[in-house]
Each structure stands twice: as C-alpha cells, then as structure tokens.
Structure 1
Amino acid sequence: MKVKHITVLCLLAFEAVAAFAAEPQSTSDANRLKALQAQVNALQANLDSLRKTIAANAAPAAAANAGAANIGPVNTATAVAPASSTAPAFTNDDVQQMREQIANASLKVDTLQEAATSGPLAGLSITGYIDPVYLYNRAQHTAGFQFLNHDPGIYDYYNSTLGDLYLDIKKTFGVGPMAPSAEIVIQPNRGFGSVLSNERGGVGNNILTQAQVSVPLSTTKTFETGLMTSLAGYEIQPSNQMLTLTHGLLYDFSEPGNMVGIGLKGSDATYTHFWQVLLGNEQLRTAGAIVNAANNTTKSNWTPTLTARFDSATTTGLDVGISGTIGRQTLFSPCAAAGEYGYQCNASSPFGLYTYVESDVTYTHDKTQFNAQLDYGQLQKGAWNGGTARWFGTSLLGHTKWTTAGIGRMGATLRLDYLNDTANGGGGSNILYGLSGGDPSVNGTSGFGLDPSCFQNSANKGMECKGAQHYALTADLLFYPTDQIIVKFEYRHDGANHPVFQKSDGSYSRSNDIAALQFVYTF
C-alpha cells in the first residue's frame, strides 16, 4: 500500500473525530464513540500489518546484502535495480508520521469518551412529549383545541393532565446501580403544579409536577426526597404511556396526589416484591399548611402524612399492589377567618383525619392488558353536612393491540369507572363543591354533589341530602403510525344518580358526553 493511501485513511479518521465533536451531544454518544473507537482500532491494525510487510520486504534485501558481502564486489547498477523493484514505496519516517497521526486520533477519542462518561453532559437525558387535544363537551356545549390552557386550582375530568407539554429532565451521577440521580418533570398549566398550594393554600400555577433526588443506599434500597409522585392506583400520568385519552374517576377524584417529603423504596433480593414509603406534607402542599383563624391567629398542620405501597410480581405478567395513606388534611373552609371550618362552618379545627386505601391488579399477556382497582377513602369533617366524607369506587380496564396490513399498528381500550360519594352529602379532599359557581353544593363541571332540587327545597342548607354516585364508560381507539406518534380517539359517557352536570344554560343534567382526538408526539 502506498503512503498516500495510508494518509487518506488517517485523514478520514480525523474527519470522523471532528464530525463527532461538532455534533450536539445526546444519549446516543456512547454508541457513536464505540463506532469511532472501532475505526481507530482498525487503523491501528492496518498499521501493524504494514509494519509486518515492511519487515517481510526488508528481510530478503538484508539476506541479499549479506550474500553480496561474502562473494565480493558486485556491479552497482545491477545491485540497485532489483532492490528498487522490491523495496516498499515508503520510508520509516512515513511510518512514524502515521503512528503519530493515529495516536493523536486515539487521544481525541479517549477525550470524547471521558466527556461522555464523566463530563457535564454525562448521564443527562431530556425526554417528553406534547399532546394537543381537540375535545367536544356536550353539557358545556363547547368544542375546540385544548393545549396548555388549564385554569389554576380547577381540576375537571375532561381538562386535567391532557393537552400539555411534558418535559422529563434526568441527570445520573455515575454509572451502575449505586449511581445517584436527580429528576425534574415540567408540565406547565396541566400537571400537578396547577393544583399545588403553598402553606396558606394559595395556588401559584407551579410548572413542576415532579422534582426529586434519588440516592441508592444499596442495590435494593434507595432514598428519595423532593416532590414525588403518588403511589396509588394502576394509572400513570404521562399521556404517551396511557391507554386512554382521559384519566379514570379514581385517578382524578379518589387517589391522593403528589407529595413533598422524603421516601425510601426497595425490593427483595429476587426483585419480585417491591415496597415504597413516603413521609411528608399533606398531598399537594409544598409547605406545612397554615390556616388563618379568629383574632389574627393561625393554626398549623404539624401532623405529617404517611403513604406506603407494596407490590408483588411473582410472575412476569401479573402484578398485585396495595397502597394506603394516612394524615391530617386541610378542610375546605369558606369562613376560616371567623374561626369556623368545613362547608357548614361548624367544625372547630381546620384539619381532619384523612385515610385512604386501595388495591390494584395489572395482568399482561402478549398484546393484551387488564387492570382492576378498588378504592376507599374518608376525611373527618370533610363532608357537605360537616360529618365524615366517605367515598369508594372501582375501575376496570381492558386493552389490546393488533396490526393490520393497510393501517399498521392499532389498539383499543375499554374502561368502566364507578365512584360513590353519597355519605353525609358527599365531598372530600379530592372532591370540592362550588368550583364552577352557581350552586355551592355541586361541582357541576365534574359531576359531584347534592341533587340541586333537594338543596333548593331544603330548609336546612341541604343537610339531609346525599351526594352523587358517578360512573363513566370510556372507549378509545389508538393508532401508532410511528414509534414517536400516538393518535387517540375517545368517546366517554359520564352519568350520575342526581342531575349534577351543569349545562351551558345553567340547568343540570344527569349525564354528559365528550368526544376527543389527541395527537401525542414523544421525543
């Protein structure tokens, strides 16, 4: 091989290194570095082969010279001609230059490798999605696109964590199971941040849904702190991982929300049983609750909230989980400044004991998935009439995927939800009344509360009335045109045993229907 050919190879190596250095760093750096390292190794192997060729070509020449020394003087012209026909077309200086070039390329690769594993961008990943939604609401008599438009402090089943921008930023410090990490999830207007409140209950329209640090204590135990996700139920928040467009009734109105505090999670040595414990503020509070009282005094919630979860996954397709939460929760109190609390201002304390327990099952087989969940919760002094609010419910979901020749990958989901909130007029920490104006005993946009006619005809502020039983039937058709795109069509029918769904003309209906189209792009 001629010198110019080897020089070209070296220049190509330099160009590959330069091109790698010029590209933005991403999570695929490690794969590109491996490929570049392989190219440098191949060049080094070629150089070793050339050095062997030089030695092989030099050996006959040396033998000829030795023979010439034994037989005496030879004709110079005759001796030079054969040597020139067999000698390599490069010198030792050329070989030395090539070695320096390859060593320089190897140094650049090592530098890039070190930056990818221990530099500022090492272990950094940024993922997420956007999911604009077009939604028709029969009771509200509205239709249009929904995207980043959630009203702070108001949470409705058709306008919760859908139609949003979701950014998951995670940084891992090191490699292996003992590497700590920090994770931040940003979700403007649509995430849990839209209902997070400070110590005095003010909603600040926070853009954060999750912000936590995880520090492994061993290969099976990890310490966590920050704003952490709820442990309850089978449903998850991100739209690109949901099998429906909207969330179920239990996710929206029964389960506790995200929590600020500390936690510990782990598993057994076989990784078939998992547990997690969180200790912190009451749900959705970024600080310990402080409530204004009479005579310019305040009352504080000193009691932490404890929540825990246990999962058993003894087979690859079946997971059985149970979770629970206990703590003190701030009551809805329209007359707290007068030292009276609760809907009817008849409680002496602004806080009530909150307890919640649920069990859920997930079963997957091939392209089919089934989920089931049972919930029960209560909040002392949290009901409409000042008594204990009690609610219970269930959720059943079935999903399957298939592939067609003309359309490609598809999926279908059917979900049935039921939530009973009748005790003492209904209510609770996750079901607030009067949010949409009008009748203060009804959450008209989400379909909970008293029968409006019972409330209006009551001589006792509806103290004898019961809350609503709410059910929902949801059907989805999903399309997966690419690995990054999901298109969802959903029809959902919600109903109740009282006319609690407020219509656009101010009247109330026993049911509501929505139809929606969602485009999810994951990056």
Structure 2
Amino acid sequence: MRKKLICLLVAGSLPGIAMADTTSDEIKALQAQLNSLQKEVKQLRAEVAAKPKTVAAAPAAAAPAAPAVAAAPVDISSPDYGKSQATLTNDQVDAMKQQIANQQLKVDSLVDAQNTGPIAGLSVTGYIDPTYVYNRDLSSSSFLFANHESSYDYFNSTFGDIYLDIKKTFGVGPMAPSAEITLMPNRGNGITLLQNEHGSTGLDILNTAVVTVPVTATTTFVAGLMPSFGGYEVQQSNQMVTLTHNLLYDFSDPGSYVGAGVNYTGDSSNWAWKFMLGNEQYRTYGSSIQTGTNALGDPITSSNKIPTFTARVDYTWSSALDIGGSFNIGRQTLAQGTDAQGNPLPGVYGSGGVAPSAFGTFFFAEADAAYTLADATYNAEFDYGQQQNAAFNGGQAQWYGISLLAHRKFTLPTVGRMGVTARYDVLADTKNGGGGGGVVLNSNGMDPTNGFGIGASCLANSKANGGLGFECKGAIHQDVALDLLFYPTQQITVKVEYRHDWATEDVFLHNSGSYGKSNDMLATQFIYAF
C-alpha cells in the first residue's frame, strides 16, 4: 500500500510534460495516465470506506485524542505481515483529486490547441537534393544546388534545389478545407516558367499554391496555381525513382495552370475525375501581344481570351494497377520576334518568325498506367499533341512519344536497402521542323542543348541553296536512363544515374562548337527529406 501511495503522489505532482509538444500521441498518453490515476483513487476511496473505524478509549486526564484513522485488517498470510501499513486520509484523497483535475485541465487545453489553435492542422515538409552532374557534350562537371539558372534543360531541371511544402488544414475530418503552398527558390515554376501577360517570368520562389474546399463527400472544389494532370511522373525528387525526368515530362506534358476546378470521386472508389478551367499553361495572367501601333505610335495589343480546359480520369483496376488519362484543349500564345534593341516586332511570330498568327489552338492527350506490387513498380505513358502555327516553318506542330519505366527495390547484406531503375523514352517532333508543346526552338529552328529541332547539317545545306531550313524535318529524340538508389535511412536517398540521349539529327551542341547526334550524362544526387 505504501508503494502504491508513493506512486500516486509522485504521478499527481508531475508537471504537464505534454506542454512541450502538442502531438496526439503525447496527449493520448497523458490522458491514459489520468484515467489510471482516477481508477486508483476510486479504488483507494472504496478501501478506506470499507475499513472499520476504531476509537481509542483515553483516560479522563489524558490529552485530547488524535483524529481517528482507518485501521487496516491484519492478514498473517500476507508477505507484508509484520510491516507497518500506510493509511490514507480523506484530506489526502481530496488533494490527489485536485492534482488530477489540474492535469485534466492541461490535457483539455492541449487537445483544444491541437484542433483549433494557430498551429492546428499545420504541416511543413520538404527536401534538399544537391546533385553532381557530368555532361559530355558540354564538357561540364559541377554541383547543381540552389543555382539561379533560368533555362529548363533535361540535365538541369527540377533537381539540385530546395523544396518546401506548407499545408494548413482548417478543422478535422474529410470535409475540412485546406490551403497548400509549395516553394522552390531556383528550379520551380515561379523562377523558370511562370509568365505575366507580356511573357516575362516573375523570378519568384512560388511553385504551386492550391486551396481545397470539400463540397460534398464526393466533390471537392480547388483553385490556384496547380500542376497539370498529365503523365505518371511527379516533380518532387524524393518521390522519383530516377534522377532526371523522362522526355515526356520535360517536353511534352503541359505545365502548371492558374485556374479553378472540381475533383469528383464516384460512389465506387474505382473511378476518379478531375476538371479544371484556367489560363493557358505557365501564364499568371491572360497573355497580351503587340500587333501594331496607332497614329501616335502607341502599341495596339491583342489578348488571348480563350481559356484552357483540362480533365483527367483514373480507374483503379486493382490494389496494384491504376490506369488513367488526361487531355487539354485551348489556345496558346506564340513567341514574338524582337529587334536588336529588344522591342517587339508586330507581325513576327513563332521561332521561325513566319507564323501567320500570334496564337494557335493547342490540343494534348495522354494515357498512362502504374503497376505497383510489393517492391516492384512499372510505369507506361503515351502522349500525343498538336499546336497550330507553332512549328519552325509556321505550320502545325505535332508530336508523340512513349515512356516506359521499371523499378525494383531489394536488400543486400552489406549495403542494406537499395533499388534499381531502367527507363526508355522517345519523343518524335518532326513535322514542319518541330516545335510546339514544351519544345522551344531558337531562330535557327534548333534546341541544341536538349536535342530537338532541325539538324545543323540540313540547315547548312538549306542556307547554301538560299533557303532558311524550313524544308528540314525535326529530330526524333530518344534516351535510356539507368539508376541505382540507396536508402541508408528513412530520410536519406542517394541516386546514381547514367543517361544516354540520341537523336535522328545532329542537334546536340558540343563544347567545341560542332554538332552531334548523341550525348551522355553521369550524375549523383543526395536527397534529405523532412
């Protein structure tokens, strides 16, 4: 009994340790401790009430008698026989009840702060992924991390950066709305891709920003800056099983959109739909392009007033297989030519400067599948896209491609958990010299760093005969990527990738100034997720 009393008094006088951290686990542990204390107090009070009370008879001349206490019954078979028994007074029970009430108040305060306080429903996650890349054609070998590079290349896209995801959920349960913002200071949408009405990038750290409001149990309203619905691959390095992205993600699938949409899950959990209406991709505002000047020399502009509609459907065939697809339709703005001083040239549109209009209808569709079972993952994607007036010679751009990926995890005795990945991509963009979608050609009809557009030899022959290369075909670009992945801890992933790219035309620029049909890249990446 003495041991039990001491434990109760010590436990009752403990400070509110859960105040240091308002996590659910600690709150539950403290609540369990209080429940146990309350049970013990009830048991002790029952024991006190059941014990017979005795009053000692004192002589008339004796001092006033001490307060009566409960006498414990004697059990000679008890191992504690012969030892003094602890007793519990009503005052001590009342003191313990007060201490337990104080602890209960602290628990209630923590629960309230967790559900309704300023940090309730707040989560901050992310990663850093310094990357080292060797590029044979460019004869470069360098760390890529927090580098302020404004161009988007397959060997320097969304890796070597800092990613921060901040999400706030307002309330609890499936009907609670939320707001989520992701930041990427150097390689995200804001720094390289988001454009204002004049086609200039904002150079900000904002990557996405989405508010989600459940309307019913099956329908959710979303609005803000969102990634497109296309493809099996994601942006985040810590969720990828390769170091570089596939060709379709980089140059075929649409990018991010500013708009609003609805997500719907049918009564059967096998089907899910997404719908969105927004600006043309990468535009934070409706585009505006100069088409001429008035009599006073002020610019006359034309705006893209046609929004883009995009949708996606997914069917969960089984717990391992998901099949989905998406499409986009809208109107895109073409690049406008400029003079030597950078002033816009009305009537000069497209990479070749001969597009008949400043805008072109854009259509894209893709189908993808993901099969995941235990430690094996398989992905497949097929793309098709076309864009009016967007090709190098001013005609219709048209492209199609395939991406196939296989990944498997396993454990080695000395190395531990690791994985291997193999990926093959092909993106054909040959019609009218290439262009459209995510393929951005220069004034010569080439993208010499990423291997698209017309070949250097075809362009040279065309110019030798008085042409501009408009009769040349664009390149078919292919690549194979092989990756080794290591998982030393839950937070750390190390990737090593060898990638070989090749094309049907001499579209890869060498550091010597010549052009070739292939390139090789070797890279390693260290990811720390938090």
Structures share fold, TM-score greater than 0.5: yes
Assess, with a 3 A threshold, how the Cα gap between structure 1 residues 200 and 34 changes in structure 2: closer, same or farther: same
Shift of 1:75: 6.4
Shift of 1:41: 1.3
For 2:20, give the aligned amino acid. Answer: A
Residue 334 of structure 2 corresponds to which residue in structure 1? 331
CA contact (8 A) 1:185 1:208 kept: yes
Q: Distance in 2 between matches of 1:344 and 1:488?
A: 40
Q: Does 1:174 align with 2:171?
A: yes
Q: Distance in 1 between matches of 2:488 and 2:350?
A: 51
Shift of 1:150: 4.4
Q: Does 1:306 align with 2:315?
A: no
Shift of 1:4: 5.5
Aligned with 2:337: secondary structure?
Answer: coil
> For 1:50-89, what per-residue CA distance to the aligned partner results, in whole angstroms no more than 9, with x for missing partners?
21222122xx11xx56xx9xxxx88689xx8997682663
* Mapping of residues 59-458 of structure 1, within 5 Å: 60-61=52-53, 86=71, 89-152=87-150, 154-193=151-190, 194-295=192-293, 296-335=299-338, 336-434=344-442, 440-458=444-462
The ranges of structure 1 where at least 4 consecutive aligned residues each deviate by more than 3 angstroms after the TM superposition are: 1-6, 73-77, 80-85, 87-90
Residue 467 of structure 2 corresponds to which residue in structure 1? 460
Residue 10 of structure 1 corresponds to which residue in structure 2? 12
Assess, with a 3 A threshold, how the Cα gap between structure 1 residues 513 and 93 changes in structure 2: closer, same or farther: same
CA contact (8 A) 2:352 2:445 kept: no
Residue 503 of structure 1 corresponds to which residue in structure 2? 510
Q: Distance in 1 between matches of 2:283 and 2:312?
A: 20
> Percentage identity across aligned positions?
50
Residue 473 of structure 1 corresponds to which residue in structure 2? 480
CA contact (8 A) 1:273 1:314 kept: no
CA contact (8 A) 1:150 1:159 kept: no
Aligned with 1:246: secondary structure?
Answer: coil
Shift of 1:177: 1.1
* Residues matched between the structures, number: 499
Q: Which has the higher helix share?
A: 1
TM-score by length of 1: 0.92
Root-mean-square deviation (Å): 2.0
CA contact (8 A) 2:212 2:221 kept: yes
> For 1:410-443, what per-residue CA distance to the aligned partner results, in whole angstroms no more than 9, with x for missing partners?
1100000000010000011311112xxxx73211
TM-score by length of 2: 0.90
Shift of 1:289: 0.7
CA contact (8 A) 2:123 2:167 kept: yes
Shift of 1:118: 1.1
Residue 45 of structure 1 corresponds to which residue in structure 2? 39
Q: Distance in 2 between matches of 1:375 and 1:84?
A: 87
For 2:96, give the aligned amino acid. Answer: M
| Alignment gaps of 5+ in structure 1 | none
Residue 83 of structure 2 corresponds to which residue in structure 1? none
For 1:352, give the aligned amino acid. Answer: G
Q: Distance in 1 between matches of 2:424 and 2:487?
A: 24
| Alignment gaps of 5+ in structure 2 | 73-85, 294-298, 339-343
CA contact (8 A) 2:486 2:495 kept: yes
Residue 27 of structure 2 corresponds to which residue in structure 1? 33
Q: Distance in 1 between matches of 2:333 and 2:67?
A: 101
Assess, with a 3 A threshold, how the Cα gap between structure 1 residues 461 and 44 changes in structure 2: closer, same or farther: same
Q: Distance in 2 between matches of 1:418 and 1:47?
A: 73
Aligned with 1:287: secondary structure?
Answer: coil
CA contact (8 A) 1:123 1:172 kept: yes
Aligned with 1:46: secondary structure?
Answer: helix
Q: Distance in 2 between matches of 1:234 and 1:123?
A: 29
Q: Distance in 2 between matches of 1:404 and 1:457?
A: 55
Q: Distance in 2 between matches of 1:47 and 1:197?
A: 68
For 2:450, give the aligned amino acid. Answer: S
Shift of 1:504: 1.1
Q: Distance in 1 between matches of 2:116 and 2:206?
A: 28
